[in-house]
Each structure stands twice: as structure tokens, then as C-alpha cells.
Amino acid sequence: MGNDNGVRIVSATAVVGALVYGVLGLGDTAVLQVPWWPVVRLGASVVAGVCGVVVLVAALRARDRRAGAFGVAVLAFALAWFVPGALATALYWVPPAALVAFGVLTVRGLRGPQRAFGWIVTIAAALWFVASLLTQTVPPPSTAQEVLVVVYAIPGLLQAVAFLAAAVLVAVPLLRVVGRGAGALWSSAEVR
């Protein structure tokens, strides 16, 4: 019983970390001109960083490579906000790579809808990596404001897709409990 509760707690913290960076990815695409956005991003990174530490420690204790890859992705993204200079730049490239590893391990180890979500995470994270690399190295096709907004929104959108699909995958232990409860309610219902 205690082990099940521990798994659910780690799953809940992983969901929070994934949702934080999924929502921040969407926010980066839509809220580029709001002056308080960096403060929100900083606070959210602190919360996600704590979640990343919890998931990573639990993954190391359980020797779970899949959870470890996810914990590394969340923790590296959080640390990229707090370390200076070249280390922050290097840490920025770790989350998409770790999410690709998370997705590949999911695809290799699971079946059904979880495998489909693993593919979504893998493809979105790989495209996020490529889009980020291109936006930082290749000049945009136009200097028109509309083009620049679209070009620089693509990595944030792919980040959101990757993390939100990962949120579904890490929520599976929580969803199983809900499914069992719904099944018990259905089987005990007098009217069907």
C-alpha cells in the first residue's frame, strides 16, 4: 500500500512538472509582450525544478530509466533558468533530448495508447530540438513582425506538445486509480 502511494505521489509531481512546461511552452508562443511573464516563468521553473528532483530521485531509487529521462528533462529545464552563461545554454538542449529518450523508452516498453503518446512525445521533442536549433542559427525568411512571431513561436508550441503528451504518460498511475473507482461505482450502480 505504501509503495502504491509513493508511485502516485511521484506520478502527481511528474504531472505537475510536465504541465508547468507544457503551459509555459504555450505561454511563450502567445504572451511574448507581457512584462510580468518572466516572473511567472521563474516561479513556475522553481516548482517544476522541485518536481524534477522528486521524480529523478525516485527514478534512481527504482532504477527506472524512463522516469529518469523525464526527471532529467524537467530538472535541466528548471536549472537552465538559474545557472549563468554557457552552462544555461547547454542545459537548454538537454530537455528535448531527454524527452526523446523518454518517448523512445515508452515506445519500446509499452503498448496501446501509451505507445501512441510515446510517439507523440518523441516526434514533438525531436522537432522542438530541430526548430530551436534552426531559430538560433538560421536567419528568418523575413523581418516582418508577423513572420518573426510565427517562426519564434514554433519551438514553444512543440515544447508544449511534447510536455503535455508526456503529462498524459506520467499520469497513468493516477488514471488507473480513477478507472478502478469508476469501475467499482459502475458495478455497484442499481440502474445501468
Written in H, E and C, the secondary structure of 10-76 is: HHHHHHHHHHHHHHHHHHHHHCCCCCCHHHHHHHHHHHHHHHHHHHHHHHHHHCCHHHHHHHHHHHH
Q: What is the pLDDT of residue 103?
A: 94
**C-alpha distances in angstroms, 138 versus 89, 130, 135, 151?**
17, 11, 6, 11
Q: What is the pLDDT of residue 1?
A: 39
Distance CA 76, CA 122 (A): 18
Query: Would you say residue 181 lies in a domain?
Result: no
H helices present in 80-112, as ranges:
85-109
Distance CA 170, CA 70 (A): 9
Q: What is the pLDDT of residue 185?
A: 65
Query: Would you say residue 173 lies in a domain?
Result: no
Beta-carbon neighbour count of residue 167 at 10 Å? 21
Query: Would you say residue 114 lies in a domain?
Result: yes
When divided into structural domains, the chain yields a total of 1
Q: What is the pLDDT along the chain (192 residues), one digit of tens a residue?
A: 357 777 888 888 888 888 898 888 887 776 556 777 788 888 888 999 999 999 999 999 989 899 999 999 999 989 988 888 888 888 989 999 999 999 999 999 888 899 999 999 999 999 999 999 998 888 877 777 778 888 888 999 999 999 999 999 988 887 776 666 666 667 776 655
Query: Would you say residue 109 lies in a domain?
Result: yes
Judged by DSSP in three states, 112 sits in coil
Query: Would you say residue 183 lies in a domain?
Result: no
Model's pTM, two decimal places? 0.85
Query: Would you say residue 189 lies in a domain?
Result: no
- Which structural domain range is residue 60 located in? 2-168
Query: Would you say residue 88 lies in a domain?
Result: yes
Query: Would you say residue 156 lies in a domain?
Result: yes
